[in-house]
Structure 1
Amino acid sequence: MSIEEARERAERYHLDVAYLGDVLVGCSTVRPPTDDAPEATVIARVLPAHRRQGFGEEIYARGLERARTFGAEVIETVVLASNEDGVRFAQKHGFVEFERYVLPGDTVPWITLRLT
């Protein structure tokens, strides 16, 4: 992703970075609903060294709260299919698979999961 793409996304989406002191542990992206896409997308990421310590719970809860302040009635997340921890985390939090797709040039599918 270019710096211009990152800036553009930072204006459209809510981006949050999580630290433990001065150590980066993860981040989140919340894509608010739009007229064309009435669902919000909440993506929580935790670096491998910091997984299974509760950071994902906190990052996800903040993202979910933010999505609801945007007025989202439907909430989705996207996870790379090879990220088994991420898929399990989403399912544990009430998400169910909605669709799979492969981006041009990729070989591993992305999974869109919807909160039930």
Structure 2
Amino acid sequence: MTDLRIERVDGEAAIRDWQHVHNTIIPTAVLSLDEVRERVGRNHLEVAYRGDTLVGCSTVRPPTPDAPVGTVIARVLAAHRRRGIGAALYARGLARARELGSEAIETVVLSANTEGLDFALAHGFAEVERYLLPGDSIPWITLRLA
């Protein structure tokens, strides 16, 4: 996959691209540009392209002193799945989470995203919790890397 390019979110164009992928895959939790800008300040966000085509994004939430758990989330637009993009995003996110001192790794998947859930399970994650955010009707699933 030599034409895959993954870049850290830096600048308005990348913020908009990350937002587009997130909001397409997670329509129940649409983020504004200001919310994405805030996330850039506290998380490690990346966007993925094949050539010039936007194909995915990722988030690494760093561990904290109180909770040494890093969260790695890889998202790939439906038309580009099953081509190794998610695996590449996940591998980079996992490495970054470990660089940041994560003692354990989790991911979070919207339960309606069955392909995302299948991906997480196939990559060694196991479900630890299901929950609803206020106003939501579709549960989120937290999974931990075994």
Shift of 1:73: 1.1
Q: Counting helix residues as a fraction of each chain, which structure ranks higher?
A: 2
User: Which residue of structure 2 lines up, in the alignment, with residue 39 of structure 1?
Assistant: 69
In the TM superposition, what whole-angstrom CA distance separates every residue of 1:61-92 from its partner, at most 9, and x where no partner exists? Answer: 01101101101110000000111111110000
Quick one: which of 122, 125, 139 aligns to 1:95?
125
User: Structure 1 length as normaliser, TM-score?
Assistant: 0.96
Q: Counting strand residues as a fraction of each chain, which structure ranks higher?
A: 1
In the TM superposition, what whole-angstrom CA distance separates every residue of 1:11-48 from its partner, at most 9, and x where no partner exists? Answer: 10000000001100100000000123320000000000
User: Which residue of structure 1 lines up, in the alignment, with residue 105 of structure 2?
Assistant: 75
Q: Unaligned regions of 5+ residues in structure 2, if any? A: 1-30
The alignment status of 1:16 with 2:39, answered yes or no, reads no
Structure 1 segments of 4+ aligned residues over 4 angstroms from their partners: none
Write the mapping of 1:49-68 to structure 2, written as runs, cut at 5 A: 49-68=79-98
User: Structure 2 length as normaliser, TM-score?
Assistant: 0.77
The alignment status of 1:5 with 2:17, answered yes or no, reads no
Percent sequence identity is 67
Shift of 1:6: 1.5
**How many correspondences in the alignment?**
116
Give the RMSD, CA atoms, in angstroms: 0.9
